[in-house]
Each structure stands twice: as C-alpha cells, then as structure tokens.
Structure 1
Amino acid sequence: MVLSVWPMAWRWQKLLAARGIHDRLAWLVRAYFVAYTAGQVLPTAVGGDAVRIFETAKRHPGQGGPVAGSVLLERALGGAATLALAGLGFALAVGRYNVGAYLWIELGFVVATVLLAIGLFSRRVRPLLAKTVPLLRKIRLERPIRAVYEGIHSYRGHPKLLAGVFALTLAVQSVRVLAIWSAGKAVGVELSPRPYYVMGPLLFLVLLMPFTVNGIAVRESFFVSFLGGLGVDADKAFATGFLFFAVTICLSIPGALLLGWQSVRGLTRPSPPQLRDG
C-alpha cells in the first residue's frame, strides 16, 4: 500500500499542472504521507485533505482556490472510481455470496455522486447555485466556496485528464482491496477476493465521511457486519478490520518521521539575529 502513494501523488501533480501549478513529485509524495499522519488525529480523510490544501497553498501564494479544487476533485473522482469498483464487485459476487443488502447503500452513494457531478460541472445549474450566494455572503463563506467551485468547474475543459485520473484511481483502489483480503487471510478468513471487492469500496466511501477520527469503531463494526453476513466468525471479522487498521497506521509512519525531522531542523536552524551576527 505504501507504493500506491506515488501514483496518487502523480495524478495530483497532473491535476495541479492543468491549472498552471507545477510542483515536484517528491514534494507531493511528502505531502501525501504527512496527510496520512494528520488523518490519524483529524476527522478521517477530510482532515488529511485539509492539511494538503494548507501546505500546498502556502507554497503557491494566491492559488488557494485552484489547489483546494484539485484536492477535492481528486477526492470526488476517487469516490466515483470506488463506486465503479464496487459495481464490479457486485457483478463478480452475485450468486456466490449474499451481498444484496449492501446494494442499496451503493445505490445511495451513486445517486449522491451523480448529483455532485451535475452540481460541479453543469452550466445549467449555475443559476440555481447563484441563489445561495446571499446566504453564503451573510455567513462569510461566499469567497472560499466560490474559489473552490471555480477551481473544480474549470476542469470541465479537461475530459481526457479526468478520464485518466479516474482510470488510475480504479487501479490503485483495486490493489488496496487486495490488502484487505490479505489481512483476512492472515487471521484465517477463508474467502476469495470477490466479496472484498464489494466490501472494500463501500468501506473506503464510509471512511470518507467526516464524522469519525480515523474511522475508529466504524471500520471494525463494518467488518463485523459485512463479513458476519458471509458466515465469518465475529472475532475473525474484527481481527481483519483491526489488522487493516494497523496497515493504515504504518502508512502514517513516514509522515510522522518527516514532521519530526522538519521540527528538529526548525529548532536547530539559526534565527535571523544569529545569522546577522555571523
């Protein structure tokens, strides 16, 4: 899973470049690892995204809107690709595993994703969105929300880029699902990868919701509910979820080391008066 950070950073680099923002892949990889670390103490993936936006906007003054737009669009495309992967998982699992109860959950996510795409990219709904401006202005949110909206809407003219990012995300998420399957095998869950291609994408979508810190309790409950429906013992299902949690914690270690090194460098760096005295 650690290796999946590089293709994800590369897709972000391409989205930024489409808006005239150019940055090194190495720095974007670093930003991803730091975001993973932040996601351990902030609300799910949204907290990590906020850190990426903040750090990158500081590197590119005056580009806060496009930077935020690239990160949020990347997240939205990731959600759409995850839904497509879940659909493939349903097709593979139908008739072999009892996963029909989760079909309605995916359908709800599909409807929400379609509505979001229409709201972000359709020119016809802009007059409707304009009606929210007085309220947003009153609560002083018009400028940041407008900047983010314009940053995302501008990608309407880059359909090939969006399709490429979608395809890459689909491939990366496929590998991440196999990591869940491997965790299950490690604790003795004897299931093929097929049902995991239903469970994994739904789990990724649930963990995007900003109402938990690092998905604690939600993730394990989801594993017990889903795998329990397939006849897996509750203890093994919980152990699978916990082991996958441990894997995600390992992903945050490089970011923690980077932040620690950055703090040490900041403490040892001479202050401006010292530099002048030298």
Structure 2
Amino acid sequence: MSDPHRPTNFGPREGNGDEPRLAEIASVSVEGLIDAVETAGTGRERRYRWALPLRIAVSLLMLGVLWWKFPEIDWGDLIPSWSRDTILWLLAATAMTFFGIALSAIRWQAVLRALGLRERLRMLVPLYFAGQFVSNVLPTTIGGDVLRVSRLSKMNGEPETTFASVALERLTGWLVLPLITLFGLAINPGLRQLGRATLLALAVALVTLVALIIVLLAANHPRLGGRFASTEGWRRFVNSIHRSITELRRQPIAALSILTAGLVYQIALCLTALMVAAALGFSWLGLTALLAFYPAVLILQVLPIGIAGLGVRESAFVLFLVPLGVPAEKAVALGLVLYVINVVASLAGAPVFAMGGRRSSMAV
C-alpha cells in the first residue's frame, strides 16, 4: 500500500519543476481534480483540451442569444456612465472583492486546522489569490482549486488532507448559498411572485441543497465513504474526505465557525453586487433581491458550459432581474462588471502563480 502522506505528483513533472500547462488545468471536472492531483502530466488530462475552444464558443453563443432575444438592448449602455459616485462605488466593490477572497482564505485555514494542519495566512492568502487568477483566466472555476491543492501539498507533504480541505471549503461555501436564496425569498413576499424567476431560483436552491446533503451523507457513511479506506490511487482522496467529515462532526464549534465564515463571504458577494448595481444606477433593487437571486447566479455560473461563467452569468441576471424592472442591458452590465472586478482582484495572484512552486521553501 502506498504511503498515505507521500507528496502529490501534481506539480513538477519529469524533474524539470514546471507547473502543469494552462490548457491542462483549464477543463478539469470534479473527477479531473482528483485525477490532476494523482496523475498530472499523464495523457489522462489531455483528453480535455478540446473543452477550451468549445466553452469559449458556448459563452459567445449565449451572449449572442441575449442580443437576439433582446434586440432593444443598447449595448452602449453596458459601460457605466462615469462620475465620481460611479468610481467610488466600483472602488468599494473591488475592495469588497479583495475582502471576500481574504475571508475565503481564512475559512480555508479554519478547515485545515480542524483537520490537523496549521498553515499560516501569509501563505494561504497568496495561494487563494493565485487560485482565483487561474479560475478567472481559464474556463472553469475548479482550476484554481487544482492549483491550491498542488501548491500547498508540495509545501506540507499532505496531498490527501489538503485535497479534503479544499473540497470541504468549497462544499461548506456552497451549502449556505441555497439557504441565502431561501431566506431572501422568505423575507420579501414580492420576490415569490415573479413566475419563472422565482421558480428557477427556488429549483436551483433546493436541487443544490439536496445534492450537497446527499454528498455529505454519502461521504460520511461508513459503508459508502468508508469503503475507500483501504484502497490506493484516486480513491484515497475520497477516503480523505470521508475521514475529514467524520473529524468535523467531532468538532461542532469548528464546523459552525467554518459555515459562519462561508455565510459572511457569500453575503459579502451580495453586497459587492449591490455596489455594482449602484454604480450602474439601479441601487433601488435592494439587498433582499440579490440575496434571493445572486446565489442562484453563482451556482449556475459554475456549470462547465462556458468560460469563467461568461454568458451564463449574464443570462441568469437577465432572467432574474428584468421581472423586477431592471433593464436587460443593465442586468447584462451587472454580470460583466462583476466579472471584470473579479479579474482585477485576481490579478493580485498572478505573481504567485508565475512563481510556480518556488514558494515551497516558505516556513509553514
């Protein structure tokens, strides 16, 4: 049986110290994340290369559908009308985005500590920004997770536990998204009477919540999650999630703090969207509408059918916000400006990404 604490193979390949190429990280799925940690550099991940041009085409197609469905859109209105207030709102939204990324790193640290790994924020925050850089440049939000697992496991020599920490950090963040949607719909009765918009938001929330509960129960079940305990290869990563969930059950205070951090982070994202809405001239939308609908947008944009959610995010905003009286071009602009702000914030991770694994000598 292989050593459960051996360093991951993801990272240096053939002794030359190169990171996996961008195209190879770009299109991995959840299964691909496990494969990437276990078998990066092999032919297994090359089968995904076709996904990059396909997802770019899908994003362009979805934006084209918006143009066809809403011919009255004045695409010139996608650019905010510049004024002092506009600039201040956009700067505030950018600052809130930086805060949200730092908060995510704090949540990741809490998960790692619950699993017995004490990593410093001065290491985790740059890694998280590097992951955001990859996720916003490449056509999938999971590429940054691959990078985080790769870099941190090279530093601590704990690939399975590191993988589990990233998976649980993601799962706990996703767990609060449908709850926020349900809360927003509950406190604002008017949002429950918007036809397709209400039904879609409710369906996305319930399906996501049920799916996550099933995943967590299955991973925690001794016969389902535990059946991988004595196997090698990628299955040991599944076993690490099983053991990690079991460990979190023994630490309810730690689990609650992780969920609370996830809740604060998602609310920060909603506040960011409200600031951008103010910059675009429709702050009257209010926070409750974004609490109800923005989590559904965040869930939908992760679907691997476009590049960095482009097209999916804007289409979802149109579907959810137009019934509230937001002009279609403003709804599209909201999605595009949020994407640009995320790209700008994630550029802080570009130097760390470019440095490769050379930070592995940093003190832990």
- Fold match (TM-score > 0.5): yes
Residues 178 and 204 in structure 2, CA contact (< 8 A), matched pair in contact too: no
2:326 alignment partner, one of 226, 232, 240: 232
Match of 1:84 in 2: 179
Counterparts in 2 of 1:21-36, with a 5 A limit?
A: 21-36=117-132
CA distance in 1, matches of 2:260, 2:190: 27
For the 8 Å contact 1:70–1:152, the answer to whether it is kept is: no
Q: Could you state the TM-score of these two structures normalised by the residue count of structure 2? A: 0.65
Cα distance between partner residues in 1 of 2:118 and 2:228? 33
Which structure 2 residues correspond to residues 137-148 of structure 1 after superposition, within 5 A? 141-148=234-241
- The answer for unaligned runs of 5 or more in structure 2 is 1-96, 360-364
Displaced runs of 4 or more, over 4 A: 128-134
Q: Indicate which of 167, 171, 178 corresponds to 1:72.
A: 167
Contact 2:127–2:148 (8 Å) recurs in 1: yes
Question: Judging changes above 3 Å, is the alpha-carbon distance between structure 1 residues 147 and 110 closer, same or farther for their aligned structure 2 residues?
Answer: closer
Is the Cα–Cα contact under 8 Å of residues 42 and 214 in structure 1 kept in the other structure?
yes
For 2:236 and 2:263, locate their aligned partners in 1 and report how far apart those are by CA, in whole Å.
Answer: 33
Unaligned runs of 5+ in 1: 267-278
Shift of 1:148: 3.8
SS where residue 136 of structure 2 aligns? coil
Letter in 1 for 2:216: A
Separation (CA, whole Å) in 1 of partners of 2:210 and 2:123: 36
Q: Secondary structure at the match of 1:40?
A: helix
Deviation at 1:170, TM superposition (A): 0.7
CA–CA distance in 1 between the matches of 2:227 and 2:119? 36
How many residue pairs were aligned?
Answer: 257
The one-letter code of the counterpart of 2:206 is: L
CA contact (8 A) 2:133 2:347 kept: yes
- What's the CA shift for 1:243? 0.9
Matched-pair identity in %: 27
Cα distance between partner residues in 2 of 1:109 and 1:120: 16
Deviation at 1:25, TM superposition (A): 0.6
State the match for 1:269 in structure 2.
none
Contact 2:273–2:338 (Cα < 8 Å) also in 1? yes
1:187-223 deviations in whole A, cap 9, x for unaligned?
2234112111111111222233344331111111111
1:9 and 1:183 mapped to 2: Cα distance? Answer: 24
- Alignment partners' CA distance in 2, 1:252 and 1:227: 27
CA distance in 2, matches of 1:48, 1:245: 16
Residue range with higher mean Cα deviation, 148-157 or 101-110: 148-157
* Root-mean-square deviation over aligned CA pairs: 2.5
> Partner residue of 1:188?
281
| Deviation readout 1:141-169 (Å, 9 max, x if unpaired) | 43333334334443222211111111121
Q: What is aligned with 1:158?
A: 251
Counterparts of 1:209-248 in structure 2 under 5 Å?
209-248=303-342
Q: 1:128 to 1:2 in 2, by over 3 A?
A: closer
Q: Note if contact 1:12-1:74 (Cα within 8 Å) is conserved in structure 2.
A: yes
Partner of residue 347, structure 2: 253
Aligned-residue offset at 1:229: 2.4
Q: Does 1:47 align with 2:133?
A: no
